[in-house]
Structures are given as structure tokens and as C-alpha cells.
Structure 1
């Protein structure tokens, strides 16, 4: 074949390549992209991804039992793995709650009828969830459980005024306290500072506890409660403790948001009555993450 005969052949081949090469390349790219998408969307076998369940939450009334020299202490605690939060609300013992056909201070309710009756009174007074449990510990038991975590670094300046800090012997700076020392400080505030401020100081101690030791709690706290179960007053069952353990694992893994404050209210020093207000109900809503506002959150923590 002469040179003139090859020219149409090469021209036709070149034209075919110009059409086929982009077409084949595009097909290969499209195939790879489709395969990559399918692999990404396919569940990976052998990799278990745990997600919180509805049951991974706990609403709890924690009571520190009174002694001959100390008054009872009260804390509402809400743990939620799905909301990734630990919320605590300290209640003044002077809080007026329904008791029989009359009313009584929450501390008097405890002395007369125990923690289960306090829970019932708070269910109606604060509209707590029906599945709220109760747990009452003697101060010595609480200290034995807490001491395994070491000293707590607690700041009381957000709970007490400068004058109250001076009168109670608390430092304006963050201070390291054992559980025994913290309870002694709180007991020394009885009758010295207003009930809401004492409750705020109690909340500060619990806030420090959860922030400082959260990663240790899943493996230790439920077991500690099981160990001390003969000396506890509680309606927590073995199944509840398993749920608590599982919930704490989620919260520790995700570095849960911690917030602790005191229940606001009206304090009548002459009558010795601490009564609920709209701010009180707003603080309880914020505790359970029911549409809280910034103002409601701050009202529960400022002295």
C-alpha cells in the first residue's frame, strides 16, 4: 500500500481513539465511584457501634441522711446518655412540700417518713418524672464511696458571697477537699447562710465530683453502691444499677456536659419557709432538658 493509501487509515484510527479513550476512561471512573459509594454505605462486619437507648437515663433523688449534728441534704440528679448530660439540682432542706393534709419542710418530711416519702412529696410539688428513684446514704457511707476518688477541687465563689465565704471559712479560690471535709463545711453553713446558697455550695461539690472523676465512675460507682447496699435506703434494683453502669459508660466516653445548681425560690427567714416560684419550675425544666433558656439555667446557679 502506498503512502497515500495509509493516510485515510491513520486518520480513521485517530478519530476512533479520540472517541473511545474518553468514553472508556469515563466508564472506569464512574465504575470506581459507584463501587466506593457502595463500600462506604455497606455496614462493616465485626465493628460494633453502640448507641444509647431510651433506657440509658436515670432520674434520682439523692439524700444525705441526717445525724445528731447534721441536717439532711437533698440533690436531684438526671443522667441521660442520649442527651449526653449530667444535671444536678440541690434542694434546700427548708423547701415546703405537701405532707399529709398539710405542708412541711423537706428535711422534716425526711425525719418523719424517710426518703420514699420525700420522693412522693417532690413528685407533686415539682412535677418530677414518675420513674424518679430515691437513694439515701449516711454521711459516713457517702464519704467511704467518695474517698476512693481522692480530694475534690471545689470552688465556692459562685455559690456564696464574699461575706459568706469569710463567715464559713471557705476560700475564694478553688480548694482541695476530701468528702469528709466537704460535708463538714456544708454542715457549718446551717443557719449561717441562706438555704439557697447552702444548696448552691452542695451543688458545687457534686459538680466537682462529676467533672473530676467521670471517667472512673462506670467501673466503680455501681459496684460501690452494690457493696454498701445493706446500709442504703433506695428503690434502685439490680437492673437499675446495670442501667446506671451502662449509662455512665456512654457519658464518660462522650465527655458529658455537666451542670449543677440550686433550686431557686422564696425564702422567708421569719417563718422558716422556702417556697416555690416560677423560677423554681423553670430550673426543674432545665434539669430535665425541657426547653430551658439561658436565664433559667443561670438562675439556678447564681447566689
Structure 2
């Protein structure tokens, strides 16, 4: 006679253990994942704080004023002012036909560059616009500029603030925000600059709009990429920027990126005489420079822009 084997049910201990595990495993796993995410967040915040305002306040020398020159048939000039203490990036597009002192007389800024290079242009603008004595100069060819700026991709920009609808249409543009590559942007701006029907201030305004869009769209990337890019092509540059200046640039850009810096761009106003082809400084020009350095008229008169 065969013994009938009784099938045992679930042991209460094992059933209880299994139920506990079914509850605890997801809970522990979720807690571990959450803890890991919190750790990563804390590490990112700590790294951000280390380079931001919570731990490192900007020093007085965390600032740079640089005259950017791009030579060619249509040389272009842009003043860039980066100041961590003011938490700002200011850009001033300077028309190449601006009249500046040169030798025993006067010349356009473009003529000054062709004859004597970027250092002499910096000198001439320092005298004409009362720039700080520590203003630097940086000249790079269109090819090098395209190589550096091209890595950030197309710039999305509208030129409606500088050109009329008809003028935009003539150059294949519209009022809409459109993407444009670094190379195409340089070519278009040179065409505008050579257009005798456009005033120098309006072509400078178009240049300011492009640079404004570039800094706004790429500010977060610039601290870790731009100084190294400039170091990488240092042999192709004409500049008085030193290794310490590149460190200052990196440190200042990092602060500005971490603190959502104010970015403003404008064209240098002036008096355009179409008959003589001269563009000269006016009271509006001087006021624009004061705005550029965030200096009030009273402060400007007291300091003569020596320490913006």
C-alpha cells in the first residue's frame, strides 16, 4: 500500500520573508537610486558653487577689455568688455571707417590697421574713445575665426533691428530668426560693410546682433572651450594676451556663465558724412562708451575711464 505524500503548503516563515522582500527590495533599490541622484546633484552644485558666487566672489581683476580685429578686404572691429563684478558681457561694434588719429593726421580705423596693425588701432581707439589703458587687442584671420566659432554650430539671429525688409531681402534674409554658420555670417557682414547704400552704424549694428546672438547661445560652453581654442591657435594670432590673461578670461567666463550674466551689444553711434565718407565721434559716441563700461557721466568725468 503506497503512502500518500501530503503536499505541504507555504511555510508561514518563508511566506512572510518573501512578502517582506517584495516590499523592501524595490524600496531599497529606489532609495539607493535616489541617493545616487542626490549625490550627483550635490557634486554638481558643489562644483558650481566652487566657481560661482557662493564660494568665490569676483576679484577686481576678473575682467577684460579686448579689441577684436578681423582683417581682410573689409576689416572689422569689435570691443568686448567682460566683467565678473558687474556680471556683464558688453559688446560694441566699431565701424571700420571711424576717423582716428594716425601719424601726424587722421585715418580710418581700417587704414590704421592696414598700415600699422592691431596694436596701433588699440592706441588710436584708446585716444579717441578714452578706453582703459589695460585694453588688450586680438587679431585673427577670417579662417581662424571660422575655425573657432564654427565648433559651436550655426548662430540663430535676426537682423531686423539693423536692416529694413527690402535690404534683408536683397541679401536673401528676412525678419525671422534664422540660423547662419560662422563662415556665412562673416561673408554676409563683409558684404553689408561694402554696401555704400548702408550707413556704417547700421552695418555695425548687424555685426553687433550676430555677436550678441553668439554669446547668448554659447555662454555656458565658452569657459571650457574658448580659452583653450585661443591657446590652440596662438601661433596664428596677433595679440598681447598672455597666459595669465587667458586664465583671467577662463575664470571670468566661468563666473559669468554660472551667474546668468547680462549680455548687451550695440553699434558705436557717430556722425556719418556721406560727402566726405567720414565717420566721427560725437556726444552720442561718448555716451555709448559710458554705457559700454557701465560708467555714469559723473564717474566718467572723475575717472576718465581709467578703472571701469
Q: Secondary structure at the match of 2:221?
A: helix
**1:264 paired to 2:269:** yes
Q: How does 1:282-301 map to 2 (within 5 A)?
A: 282-291=287-296
CA distance in 2, matches of 1:283, 1:147: 30
Give the alignment partner of residue 140 of structure 1, picking from 143, 161, 167: 143
Q: Which residue of 2 aligns with 1:236?
A: 241
CA distance in 2, matches of 1:162, 1:101: 43
Query: Structure 2 length normalisation: TM-score?
Result: 0.77
CA distance in 2, matches of 1:164, 1:277: 27
Q: Which residue of 2 aligns with 1:80?
A: 83
- How far the C-alpha of 1:167 sits from its partner, in A, is 2.7
CA distance in 2, matches of 1:244, 1:284: 21
Query: Structure 1 length normalisation: TM-score?
Result: 0.79
Q: Secondary structure at the match of 1:145?
A: helix
CA distance in 1, matches of 2:246, 2:67: 15
Contact kept? 1:164, 1:193, Cα under 8 Å: no
Q: Which residue of 2 aligns with 1:255?
A: 260
CA distance in 1, matches of 2:296, 2:165: 33
CA distance in 1, matches of 2:173, 2:286: 30
CA distance in 1, matches of 2:120, 2:172: 34
Instruction: In structure 1, list runs of 5 or more residues that go unmatched.
Output: 1-46, 293-303
- How far the C-alpha of 1:195 sits from its partner, in A, is 0.8
How many residues are paired up? Answer: 244
Q: Which residue of 1 aligns with 2:305?
A: none
Give the alignment partner of residue 107 of structure 1, picking from 106, 110, 131: 110
- How far the C-alpha of 1:164 sits from its partner, in A, is 2.2
Q: Which residue of 1 aligns with 2:67?
A: 61
**Residues 21-54 of structure 1: per-residue CA shift (max 9 Å, x gap):** xxxxxxxxxxxxxxxxxxxxxxxxxx86111000
Instruction: In structure 2, list runs of 5 or more residues that go unmatched.
Output: 1-48, 298-308
Give the alignment partner of residue 203 of structure 2, picking from 198, 201, 205: 198
Contact kept? 2:165, 2:174, Cα under 8 Å: no
- How far the C-alpha of 1:269 sits from its partner, in A, is 1.4
Q: Secondary structure at the match of 2:295?
A: coil
CA distance in 2, matches of 1:272, 1:169: 27
**Bigger shift: residues 264-273 or 130-139:** 264-273
Larger radius of gyration: 1
Give the alignment partner of residue 131 of structure 2, picking from 121, 128, 139: 128
**1:277 paired to 2:282:** yes
**Bigger shift: residues 87-96 or 169-178:** 169-178
- How far the C-alpha of 1:170 sits from its partner, in A, is 2.4
- How far the C-alpha of 1:101 sits from its partner, in A, is 0.9
CA distance in 2, matches of 1:244, 1:193: 35
For the aligned residues, what is the CA RMSD?
A: 1.4
Q: Runs of 4 or more off by more than 3 Å in structure 1? A: none
**1:170 paired to 2:193:** no
CA distance in 2, matches of 1:97, 1:158: 27
CA distance in 2, matches of 1:162, 1:81: 38
CA distance in 2, matches of 1:272, 1:167: 23
- How far the C-alpha of 1:203 sits from its partner, in A, is 0.4
CA distance in 2, matches of 1:163, 1:102: 39
